[in-house]
Structures are given as structure tokens and as C-alpha cells.
Structure 1
């Protein structure tokens, strides 16, 4: 790729600091034994700290000062770049926070130090190359992908003048700050919704707080499984007020390239139906014939009932709309409709299924330890908590507003990330130049 006239490509080893330990890999790998671990001392930086592209360490292991001195060639400090060396995330990197005065890197990491060039700029270059190609040209494709120190030293990167490096890094850092702020707002909105669900779906928060509400522990199943609930709420089996159906086990030999699309659990992502990730169909003749009663209707509440943990089950619930139709159910999915008795609002029931009150029932009912695997027989033993229809609708309205806020923030976050990606493509290749004041460039 051609670069502006005042840019050039250089090997990374010619860009980093002149110190002979500016680019090193870690001394520890399988040789780091439990006897090296200490409750305090010098922290060991590991590849898992950068797998999100941002330095994030939840838990450290430490080594004593003497071992650190013996392996000081692999020391790292705040402001250096830490890169994952081995595994699926090989090539991922992030800047070590400045509060790390003395650290040492593990054997699954690489470290890069910069003096005369801008660290943030080259962190963006390496991060962009990873997102674009995974740094595939310097990875060894063995049992586990890996990046050797030798290949990283020879890796060529674009090098603009130093002041342009700084300006580009400053611009992209501003975008990172906007992304981080939006991520925090999104996380807060999700936490607030979770707290609201816990309060509203157990009656701890009511819409008329001046009323004299009371709580009681129900006898039988509800006593041991559902806990205290408002005395004016009913607890009844789901099957009394909702119709539900499990998808059929359509066989591979029945799949076609055209016809009616089949709905699978993987088509629900974060409470949205996405049919773009499957091309599996069944013929119209077969669907309208033997499988006619599995055709999904507008407004059906759909769930995935296998292949996901109980804790993430709340992500696998979504409503079908006319835009998704025609659509036929397949294995490991279920659909729900509220019966005409008017006892349960289907939108309220959607949120009830996301609540711990429901998930705890399923956790005890479901087969399989790591992932959910349940069906109509399990649902048939589960209870639904039933406030008045008016209160159900108010609960659904409040939680729907919370979902809308989350969706808006997610859309903003996706937009920021996409715009930053396009900006990186332009700035890091010199296709878009930045203005550097003459005083800075001199």
C-alpha cells in the first residue's frame, strides 16, 4: 500500500526504543509453577489482560523481587504495549496502565517499549491490523496460533512524522473516550433494568406505594421455590394461562435452499430475531402440509430452550413480527401465546421469563449441567406470578422503556465503533491527513 511522501514503512524493531529489551517475550509459561506465586510482590502480566483490546486485569499473580531481578529482561512498566503471544487472541494488544511501575510479563505475552515514537499511535496501528487480518502474516498456524518475537520484530508498520503520530493518536483517543463513556452508560442502563426487574416482578416496588400492601409465603411449591410475594398476586401454573409449543426435529435430508426459512435458537441474539445467519429452509409443500401447525405467527413469543446457560437465557427471548414471516419452527425452540382468558399479558410474561423467579424454576427443571436443555414437560411444572392485568401492563411499559434506552445506547455505541473503524482506516494509512501546526512540526 502506498503511503504519503513523508511517511515510510519500517520494521517494528527499528521503531521501538533503542534499549535492547524494548521488544521481549516473557520468561514464564509452563515453567511458572505454583511455588512461584506469592500473595504480594511483582505482578505478572498475562495475555488474558488484553483480550478485549483494553488492558483489564481482574486478578493478579505475583512473584518475589528476587525472581523479578533474575528475569528483569522481561520487565514491563506503565506505558508499554502488552501483546498476547499465543492462542486465538494472539496479536491482541493494549497499553499497560501507568500505575504499573514494575511488572513482569508471562510467557504468553510480548512487550514493546517506545521512546522516540508515539506509543499510542503504534498501539492503534497494531490493534487495527489485528482487527483487519488478525496479524495473520506473522502468525504460525500450529496447534495454537502464535506470534514469535522474531516475526514481530520484522513486522513492517507505517511511520509518519512524530507530530503527526501524536495528532492521530489524540484524535483516536477522543473517539475511545466517547466509546468508553457510552459503554459505561449502557452498562448502567442494563444494571438499572436488572434492578427494576427484580423489584417490579417480585412486588418490592409497586405503582401505588400508599396502598397497604402485604406479603406472604405461599404453601407448597411456591413456598419453597418462589419466596415472598404480594398477597394480592396469584401464583398459577404457566400452562393454565399460556399455550406453548416446541419446534419439530426437522432432519437434514429435509433441508432445502429455498422455501420457508426454519427458525433456530441461534436466530435470537440479545432479544432480537436475526435471520441473516441461517440459510436453512424447508420446502413450501412440506411446510404447508405436515408442518403447517409449526408456522410462526406475528406476535408469537419465541425462545431458545437449549444451547445456552441459564444465566444468559434472558438474551434468548424475542417476539416474532410480520417482517420475519413466513417462518417455521425447528428443534430446540418454543413459542408462547397468551390464552384468551385475559389473565396474563404476553409482554409482561416476556419479562417474567427473564427474571430470576422464572430462571430459578428452570434451573431446577432443566437437564444438562453446563447448558439449558428443556421443553414443554419442564414448562408444565413452572409457575407464573400474576399481578392484576393493569399492573402487569404497567410493569411491561416501564421495562419496555428501559429496553428502549438500552437499544438506543447500543445503537449509538455501534455507530461510534463503526465510525472509529473507518477513521482508523483513513488516518493510519495516510489517506486522510491531519493538520499539524508549523511550530509543532518544526
Structure 2
């Protein structure tokens, strides 16, 4: 026993010797004044005219940001007033996705944590933002997953969270690190807001330009109206293949490429073994590819247009192609937006048939009627929407870059590998 204690003491000393100068290792329970589960109360206390907001786990996103806009109101009794949150309280999800950490910011109305959250009050000698950030560090999140119990629905207790070991620098350094990471958070939030606004603007543009409610300057011509059967024909994807045929041979366009992209990403292809002379349909420039089935009606008939000159490329078995008779009436660059537009999507969704999996019947599909402007206006509309897409892509790339920079910075600052200047 004495030898074991001596070994533990030696390990503890070794860990301390490895810590950055001035840092120390503490348990989470040492930095909190108290903790409390969110109270349970009957559903009939929820009331739109209630006196208190109830923050649920669904009001907290994966990054720990709380959306206060949809927090339900409840009329709680006086006996629960002790649960009213104070500015700076830490909230940690204790059920489902355990360990997501949020900092409560005081609102115009009193709020309490819901039953699946744990509330922690951080001692004044520690910086609550720093504590929240270190708890969200991947290494601590891994530890939280380890100490979560249960089957499908994981749970964690305040006692177990209290045992987590945290590396803490002196208080001034905690404040500075939290401030540095907060700068990145603000940049990410700003970029996310710009991205959401750009997506909304593109959606509004599509609703206006693809319906003729708004015409671009200089265009006044009449729009054409056609059933799909009048302007093209359908063809099937590859048939007669077994599992052993995939992973080698010739290229084909997979389902996810079509589902995720308005125009086919020619760099994202897979392979299937197709023999010379075998009767299979080959994809061509201008073809509009559609998903045949999905688990929900909303995802049936997603389209992707081939806008690259390609040869000997095939289509997966779970999609079908629509080939225009010619490009004299409908341009492929316009079709990219038309078939992802709100009106066409609604026409497709109502055709979805099935129970556990929904399918798109081709005969009814070809009866869908579409309207589109003359070719020169189609090209102009496509140019406007392409510009909107480019702006969205740039903002997506910027947001991803900022998140990677913040992740790398957290790895350095929260471990003391990089020290901040005070």
C-alpha cells in the first residue's frame, strides 16, 4: 500500500512539474460555489403569459450559444424562485448530448434552467468564460463522454462533472485568454450572420427572379410554359450491378453528389465495373439528374445539372437523368436554379409516394409544368444567382477558416503551450 501511495505521489509531482509556470491543476468542484439541477414541474405551468423563461437543451447549440428568442414561458410557484439564473452562471447539458457548456447572459425577463441542465455558480476568483472554454476543450469533452452513463440516452451527474481536472493559469491570464478567444467568437458570429443574410437574400432572389415577379432591367419578353415531357426525356442510372462490381472500372456520379450540389461536382466520382459494349446510359453535358427516392418527401427529387463536358461517366442506380431535347428553349445554367427553386420543389414533393421510403413516379414527374423566360434573360438571371452563390461560398470558407484558427488557438492557449502577454 505504501509503495502504491508513493507511486501516486510521484506521478502527481511529475504532472505538476510539467505544468507551465504559475499554472495549477484543480477539480471542477473547487471552482464552483454551488450546483443545482434544473427543476422539474408539470407541463400545465407552461403559459405564454408566464413570469419566467425556461431554457431547454434544444435552446443551446453545439457551440454552447443560447438562443433566447424561442425560450418558452412558464408561471412557476414562489418555491422555485431560488432557481432563477444570474448573469454569468454556467449551464451544462446533463442528458442526451452531455457536457455542452453555456454562459447565461441576463435577459429582460427572469429565466431558469430546464430539468436536463445543471446550473453552476463559478467562484469570483476564477474567470467563468475561461472555465467554460476549457470545459469545451476536446480533451475535457472526451472525459465527459467517458463519465456519462446510460444506454441510448446518456446522462451525467453534477458530482461526476465536479471530478473533472482543469488546468488553470493565474486569474489575469484566464481573463486575457478568454478575451482573445472572445475576439475569435465575435468574428465567427459576424461571419455566420453575414452568411445567413446572404443565403436569405439568394432565396428571396430565386423566389422573385424564377417566377417573373421581378424582372431584370431591359427584359420584357413573354415567358414560355412547358410540361417536362415536351422538352426532354428521362433515362435510368446503372442497372444489373452487384456489390462486387463497385470500387473499380469506370466513373459514375454518386447519389450524394447530386443531393448536395446544384451542379455536379466532377471531382467527386466513384467507380463501377462496366464491360465494353454493355448497355448502360452515359451522362452528357446539360443533363439534369434527380434523386429517385429518399427517407422523407422533402428530399425526393433533388436535382443537379451537369455543366462540364464529360465522357464515359455514368449515373448511380438511385437517381435518374432528364435530358433536354435541345438547349433552344431552356439553358442548363438556368436549369441549375430552376429545378432547385421553391415552386418546382413543391410540385415534386407532392408527388412523393411511400411510407418508410418515398419515391418519385416518373410519369407524374413528366407532367409537371414549368415556366421560364427567353434564353437571354435566363443567362442574365443565372449570372445574378451565380454571383450570390460565389459570395456564399467565400463566406463559408471564411467561417470554416476562423473556426480552424480558433481551434488551434484553443489548443495552444488552454494548455499553456502558448502564453499570452499581460
Give TM class, smaller chain. 0.7 to 0.9
Find the aligned partners of 2:100 and 2:303 in 1 and give their Cα distance: 30
The match for 2:187 is 178
- The 3 A distance-change label for structure 1 pair 345 and 412 is same
Unaligned runs of 5+ in 1: 214-229, 437-442
Taking the TM superposition and a 5 Å limit, the aligned residue runs for 1:349-364 are 349-364=335-350
- The 3 A distance-change label for structure 1 pair 376 and 64 is closer
1:110 and 2:118 matched: yes
1:401 and 2:391 matched: no
The match for 2:73 is 62
SS at match of 1:349: helix
CA contact under 8 A between 1:27 and 1:74: conserved in structure 2?
yes
SS at match of 1:157: strand
SS at match of 1:76: coil
Q: What per-residue deviation string (whole Å, max 9, x for no partner) do you get for residues 300-346 of structure 1?
A: 443333326565679763546479x8653223223344332511101
The match for 2:60 is 50
CA contact under 8 A between 1:273 and 1:318: conserved in structure 2?
yes
The match for 2:324 is 338
SS at match of 1:147: coil
Find the aligned partners of 1:367 and 1:401 in 2 and give their Cα distance: 36
- 1:256 alignment partner, one of 246, 250, 258: 246
Unaligned runs of 5+ in 2: 1-14
CA contact under 8 A between 1:42 and 1:104: conserved in structure 2?
yes
What's the offset of the Cα at 1:253? 3.6
- 1:415 alignment partner, one of 386, 393, 401: 401
Aligned residues: 402
The match for 1:150 is 159
The match for 2:280 is 292
Taking the TM superposition and a 5 Å limit, the aligned residue runs for 1:22-421 are 22-28=34-40, 32-39=41-48, 40-53=50-63, 54-66=65-77, 69-72=78-81, 74-87=83-96, 89-99=97-107, 102-114=110-122, 115-129=124-138, 133=142, 135-208=144-217, 232-248=222-238, 252-260=242-250, 262-267=252-257, 268-269=259-260, 271=262, 281-285=271-275, 288-290=276-278, 292-293=280-281, 295-297=282-284, 300-307=287-294, 317=304, 319=306, 321=308, 327-340=313-326, 342-368=328-354, 373-421=359-407
- The 3 A distance-change label for structure 1 pair 433 and 303 is farther
The TM-score, its normalising length taken from structure 2, stands at 0.84
CA contact under 8 A between 1:264 and 1:304: conserved in structure 2?
no
SS at match of 2:289: strand
CA contact under 8 A between 1:24 and 1:111: conserved in structure 2?
yes
CA contact under 8 A between 2:303 and 2:339: conserved in structure 1?
no
- 1:424 alignment partner, one of 410, 414, 420: 410
What's the offset of the Cα at 1:363? 2.2
SS at match of 2:391: helix
What's the offset of the Cα at 1:139? 1.5
Higher mean C-alpha displacement, 295-304 vs 168-177: 295-304
Q: What per-residue deviation string (whole Å, max 9, x for no partner) do you get for residues 22-47 of structure 1?
A: 2222232xxx3222323311222211
Find the aligned partners of 2:374 and 2:22 in 1 and give their Cα distance: 72
SS at match of 1:135: helix
- Superposed CA RMSD in Å reads 3.1
- The 3 A distance-change label for structure 1 pair 8 and 373 is farther
The match for 2:6 is none
- The 3 A distance-change label for structure 1 pair 158 and 299 is farther
Find the aligned partners of 2:265 and 2:150 in 1 and give their Cα distance: 33
- The 3 A distance-change label for structure 1 pair 395 and 25 is same
What's the offset of the Cα at 1:270? 5.0
